[in-house]
Amino acid sequence: MFPKKGKKFHQGLRSDETEIEFKGLIASALKTELGSTHQSVKTLVRWTGASDRTVKHWLAGTHGPSGEHLVALVRNSDAVLNAFMLMANRRAPMMLAKYK
């Protein structure tokens, strides 16, 4: 049973700043690797199965990929993988592989 005080759940680490940072870093990584041309949009659609409009939002930094789209991006893009690992405060797996 929930206490009678308050009606909102604590949001934890989810904040507007974190969300903006995520969107911006993903957009920056995609633009760095692919550019922001129509061809890059086609490539991202092929990689993820997302719509053109969705991909354009990612490139503009107004929306970020979620779930299966993020996994597909990480699978295909070293820049997105590195950005993701940076946001998670983890060392990139490619760096770890060099030392084994």
pLDDT in tens, 19-56: 779 999 999 999 999 998 999 999 999 999 999 999 99
Under the banding of pLDDT at 50, 70 and 90, the label for residue 83 is very high
Please return the burial class of 99, using the count of CB atoms within 10 Å of its CB with bins 0-12, 13-18 and 19+. exposed
Cα 13 to its chain centre, rounded Å, is 16
- Tell me: pLDDT of 72 over 80: yes
Global pTM?
0.74
Under the banding of pLDDT at 50, 70 and 90, the label for residue 71 is very high
CB atoms within 10 A of CB 78: 12
